[in-house]
Amino acid sequence: MISFKNIYKEYNEVLFENFSMDIEEGIITALIAPSGSGKTTLMNMLMGFAEPDSGKIEGIVNKSISAVFQEDRLLESFSVRENMAVCGCAEKELDYVASLLDIKDCLNMYPNELSGGMRRRTAIGRCLLKKADIYIMDEPFKGTDQKLKNNIMKSVRKYIKGKTCIFVTHDIWEAKEFADKIKIFSKDKSKTKAILCEKNASEIDLYFMEMFKNGEI
């Protein structure tokens, strides 16, 4: 179990106050929250790029983490193949992952030659090829057309089956299709310090519709 316990964090404003959340291991958990609610800050704290002002995060000691960031963070002077190979993976595995992500024909291209969706898929491939205990994916599927997105989500889900994945999105459909469990943050600034609800992905439709009708999200 990964646990955020009594987290307090502020920059120009308070993002989290007495915030606690548990992430179950071995499944995909989606975090749904509006822009500016602190979900990326939460992931940065998990990865050690930021520290909580108070509180603690448990369950990550001696565990490796691989991430897809909101920005692609590709090495512009490296080809797609070289970007994906920075983790030191086997060539056969790299080719397999490239096929899953429909970028095998792009392996010798450079980032400035790619569409936004191709850049995202390259970043996803690099993340997957680092064999990690925890995968963090922050809006990984943005810029991908719907039909291709469906196939890629299925492929990625299958590839990381049994691993711990934290998936950050603002898209309820993506969360339902990709995740096992969904945690929804309130858009109300007075409530961003708490999880508004937790549901299995299969249960989310009626609950989400009711929240939408009530103007809660």
Angle at alpha carbon of residue 109, lines to 106 and 113, rounded to 5°: 105
Nearest to 28 by CA among 162, 187, 170: 162
The distance in angstroms from the start CA to the end CA of the chain is 27
Question: Do 53 and 139 belong to one domain?
Answer: yes
Per the confidence metrics, is the pTM higher than 0.85? no
Question: Do 150 and 217 belong to one domain?
Answer: yes
Question: Do 163 and 60 belong to one domain?
Answer: yes
Assigned token pair, 76: 């512009």
Q: Give per-residue burial for 174-192: e unless 16+ CB within 10 Å, then b.
A: bbbbbbbbbbbbbbeeeeb
Q: What CATH number is given to the structural domain containing 44?
A: 3.40.50.300
Question: Do 14 and 26 belong to one domain?
Answer: yes
* Strand 2-10, strand 14-23: pairing: antiparallel
- What are the pLDDT tens digits along the chain (217 aa)? 898 888 888 888 887 888 888 899 999 999 887 676 777 888 888 888 888 889 888 888 888 899 988 888 888 999 999 999 988 888 899 999 999 998 999 999 999 998 888 899 999 999 999 888 999 998 888 877 788 888 889 999 999 889 999 998 878 788 888 899 888 876 554 444 455 566 666 666 666 656 655 555 5
Backbone torsions φ then ψ of 184, nearest 5 degrees: -110, 125
Domain of 121, in residue numbers: 74-131
